Amino acid sequence: MEYTPDWKSLRKHEVPAWFQDAKFGIFIHWSLSSVPAFAVVGKGDITEVMKKEGFKGHFKNNPYAEWYLNTLRIEGSPTQQYHKESYGENFSYYNFASIFNEAIQNWDPNEWADLFQKVGARYVVLVTKHHDGFLLWPSKYQNPHREKYFASRDVVGELSTAVKERNMKMGFYYSGALDWTFNESPIKDFISFVTNGSLDPDYADYVKNHWYELINLYAPSILWNDIGYPPVGNEKELFAFFYNKTPEGVINDRWMKLSKNIRRALKFWPLGALVSWLAKRTLIKGGSSLKPPHCDYITPEYAYFKKSMKEKWESVRGIGNSFGYNKMEPESNYLTLEKLVVMFIDIVSKNGNLLLNVGPMSDGTIPETQKNLLLQFGEWLDTNGEGLFDTRPWLRAESQTLDAMEIRFTQKEDALYVFLLGKPSEKRIIIKSLVIDKNANIQLLGHPENLKGEQNGDNLTIILPENMPDAPAYGIKIDPKPER
C-alpha cells in the first residue's frame, strides 16, 4: 500500500514477520566518548542510580560513558575531575575527534559482522549520531558549529555493507532531540533534560536532512530515534517516506515532540516537580512516559515486562552498565552467561526482542569480556535457538515445576517449547498445569532421543537424560503442542 503522511495511514503499518522472528539484535555505541572511555562506576545501572539519587544524582554520576560530554560540563562531577587530571583544563572534548579518526583506521567492519553473525544476531543497530553530535558518515549536511566534525571513514556505509552481506538487517540510531553542539548548557535534572533539545528550525532541518540522507544512501530496515524529535519537525512525512521505500521497515517509539509551550509549562515548579516525580517512577521501571502517536514497537531500557505483551517490544541494554565503552567498569558489572540466557528467554516468551549493546574501544576493538560473553551466548543458542528464533508467545508465558523451578514457554508451528531456567537437581521434573497429547514427542534440544513423559492429572512428568550437560537453561520441545 501507499502510505500518506498522516497518523491514520501510518497506523496501518504492521510489524513485519522478520522483526517478530528476529528476537536478537546487536546495538553499537561508538563515538568520541570511546577515547576517554570514562563513567562513574559502583552505583549500579541507570535504574538503580535513578532510584537512589534521582535525576540530579543520575546526571552528575551518569553510568553511561557516551554521556561524557554532558557530565563533563556539570561542575564538580567525577567526570570533570577525571578529565582535568587526565587531559588538562584546556583540553576540549572536541579534541578527541582527531584521536578517534586516527584510531578507526585499524577498524575492520567484517570482523564485527562475522562476530554478530556467529553469535546468532538477526539485526544490527548502529549509533550514527549520539548526543555529542559527531557523525559516523560523511554527510553533505555538516555540523554548522564544528568544522569537519565527522568520522574519517564511512562507518555507516562500511558496516551496513558487511552486515547485509551476511543476511542480517541493518538499523540506524540517531539522536533526534539532543545535540550538544547546538546547546552547550548541561543537562542536570529532569527539566533541563526535556528542554535541552534545540527549538531552532535550522536544527529541525539538519535532523530531517540526516534521516533522509541515511535512508537514501544506506537503505536501513530500522529507524531507531532517541530522546525525541525537534518540535517543528515533520516526522509523519519521514515515516511515510520510509515505509513507502521500505515497506518491511520498522520504527521505534522514541519520537515524542515537546513544544516551546510545553517546555515553558514544565518550568513552572509545581507542574515540573510532579512530572519529574512521575517520570522518575516510570524510568525506574524501564518505561517511557513519552510515546508518539505511532510506532512499531516500544523500547524499555535496562528493564523487562513481567507479563506477555500484545504490543511488540524490544528490551535495550548494555553488557555492562554503560552503552559506550567504559574502561573503568569492572567485570563484575557485566552480565553473566546465566543472567543473559535467562533474561533472553523471559523476554522472548513475552513477545519481546533483545537489543544487546557492545561498546567498542576507539580503534574498533570489542573488549574481550564483551566478545567472550557473546561467543558463549552464541554457543548456547546453537543448541537452543530453535525454541526462540521465529517463535511466538504461547497461551501463557510462565509456569513452574513442583519444586519451584521457573519455566517459560514459546511456540512455533505445531510445537511447544518449554524452557527450564536452571539445571534441575533431579532427573524427574514435574511441570505444573501442562496437559499434552498422549502420543506427543518430547525432546531435549541438543539430545537425539525422545524423552519419556507421564501425565498425572494436570501435571506433566518428564524424565530427563542421564548426565545432563551444564547449561544456564534447557529447552524441551513438545510436538504436537498442547491446547492449554
Q: Tens digits of per-residue pLDDT, 196-242? A: 999 999 999 999 999 999 999 999 999 999 999 999 999 999 999 99
In this structure, the number of other CB atoms found within 10 A of the CB of residue 310 comes to 7
pLDDT at 122: 98
442 found inside a domain: yes
Q: Which of 387, 413, 446 is the last residue of a domain?
A: 387
Is residue 1 in some structural domain? Answer: no
- Does residue 257 share a domain with residue 277? yes
345-367 mean pLDDT: 98
Same domain, 339 and 299: yes
Domain assignment of residue 109, yes or no: yes
Domain end, chosen from 387, 417, 445, is at 387
* Closest to 290 measured CA to CA, from 305, 275, 302: 275
Cα distance between residue 92 and residue 359, in whole Å:
22
The answer as to whether 76 is a domain residue is yes
- Residue 47 belongs to a domain with what CATH number? 3.20.20.80
- Does 320 lie in the same domain as 446? no
pLDDT band at 176 (very low <50, low <70, confident <90, very high): very high
252-261, 288-297, 400-409, 423-432: least confidently modelled range? 288-297
User: 312 lies in which domain range?
Assistant: 7-387
pLDDT beyond 70 at 140: yes
Residues 107 and 243 in one domain: yes
Claim to verify: residue 371 and residue 424 sit in the same structural domain: no
pLDDT of residue 40: 94
Compute how many other C-beta atoms are within 10 angstroms of the C-beta atom of residue 209.
13
- Please indicate, yes or no, whether residues 267 and 361 belong to a single structural domain of this protein: yes
265 band by pLDDT with thresholds 50, 70 and 90: confident
As a whole number of angstroms, the distance between CA 18 and CA 118 comes to 19
pLDDT of residue 196: 94
Give dist(CA 462, CA 428) in Å, integer.
6
Residues 161 and 241 in one domain: yes
118 falls within a domain: yes
Residue 409, domain CATH: 2.60.40.1180
pLDDT for the residue 147? 95
In a domain, 392, yes or no: no
Q: What pLDDT score does 293 carry?
A: 93
Tell whether 337 is covered by a domain: yes
The whole-number pLDDT of residue 179 equals: 98
Quick one: 171 and 297 in the same domain? Answer: yes
Q: Is 339 domain-assigned?
A: yes
Across the chain, what does the average pLDDT equal? Answer: 94
Q: Are residues 153 and 96 in the same domain?
A: yes
Same domain flag for 322 and 451: no
Count: domains in the chain: 2
pTM for this entry: 0.96
Q: What is the pLDDT of residue 283?
A: 60
* 373 and 444 assigned to the same domain: no
Judgement on whether residues 43 and 154 belong to the same structural domain of the protein = yes
Percent of the chain with pLDDT over 90: 85
Q: Once rounded to an integer, what is the mean pLDDT over residues 283-295?
A: 69
Contact 79, 38 (CB under 8 A): yes
Q: What is the average per-residue pLDDT within 82-88?
A: 98
Radius of gyration of the chain (CA): 23
**Mean pLDDT throughout 347-365?**
98
339: how many CB neighbours lie within 10 A of its CB?
A: 11
Q: Do residues 349 and 409 touch, judged by C-beta distance below 8 A?
A: yes
- pLDDT score at 210: 98
Cα distance between residue 141 and residue 152, in whole Å = 15
Q: In this predicted model, what pLDDT tens digit does every residue of 441-474 receive, in sequence order?
A: 999 999 989 999 999 999 999 999 988 899 999 9
The domain boundary, picked from 387, 408, 442, lies at 387
Distance between first and last Cα of the chain:
37
